[in-house]
Amino acid sequence: MTTPRHRRPRLILPFLALLLAATPAVAGKKVYRWVDAQGNVHYGDNSGERPADAQALDIAMPAPDPTDLADLQLVRAGGVTEVYVENKVFAPLQMTLKFSAADNVDAWPGFPLHQVLPAGQRVLVGRITAADASRTSSFSIDMTALPGDPSAQARDVAYSLPVDENSAWQLGQAFHGGYSHTDEQNKFAIDLVVPEGTPVLAARAGTVMQVESGFDKAGSNRAKYAARANLIRILHDDGSMALYAHLQENGVYVRVGDRVGLGQQIAASGNTGYSSGPHLHFAVQVNRGMRLASVPFRMVGPGGYLSLQ
């Protein structure tokens, strides 16, 4: 007799770290926030550049909270346990299955098992039987999953500014920003400082794969706000994915599966989640084999290409 057991899937979601990183993060230093006479928000760790009343920030980075990307389902059929994985996002999903415990089992195909699943589909990925039918067998399975196809190659595309170029926007952190754009997922992200409610425009055409719009607050308390950023994630035709984060509550105007065109309004900017002020976080990411990585991109502004380096 085979006794299947499985743990709740461990879902790797490093892209959420992007959403949690609006508060500057510099290991071993204090970071301060202040607003100048024109209402512009500044961050800094140099005592010579900040006013005496600058606000000290908690800069520790939170661990990303897992989100339900996929379901691992075990179905008994006689002496065989069929292993299904349901991809719950509107994009390809890479997953890995491995035994965390196994006694007297055979698996087809062998474990660990690596596979890319099509968007929104439930797929039979394997079968498990007793190696010796005369003995009881048991097993448990762990799954990790990451959105995106690792074979995707991001093309060199000029992205449009994701807000109206005539609106009140400023470029905050750019590539390799010293506060929070320092890890693989964030190093090629940008922050646009904009007032809440600013129309957010699609910087490139694509298909909406993920949305969140129900959060209404922001703060620098990572334990409280880490998983509470509103966002849109859009899949491009080359397999890369754009992230628009910290959106206004109920400020998402598209649904999963929608095809959006360049310049279409998709949301309203906000200040939700682990954030110290209104801004739009934008990044382009690819799956690099169970690792989510930001990639450099070009973006056109009112005066030509923005200086993002």
**pLDDT by residue (tens digit) across 57-105?**
443 333 333 346 889 999 998 889 999 999 988 889 999 999 999 999 9
Assign domain 153-305 to its CATH architecture. Answer: Distorted Sandwich (2.70)
pLDDT computed for residue 62 by the predictor: 33
pLDDT tens digits for 139-181? Answer: 999 999 988 999 999 999 999 999 999 999 999 888 877 666 7
**Mean model confidence pLDDT for the chain:** 80
Distance CA 65, CA 229 (A): 11
Q: Which amino acid is at 60?
A: A
The answer to whether the CB of 101 falls within 8 A of the CB of 148 is no
Q: Are 70 and 118 in contact (CB under 8 A)?
A: no
pTM summary value:
0.73
How many other C-beta atoms lie within 10 A of the C-beta of residue 248?
21
Cβ proximity of 80 and 108 under 8 Å: no
- Taking only the tens place, the pLDDT of each residue in 196-229 is 999 999 999 999 998 888 877 766 655 665 567 7
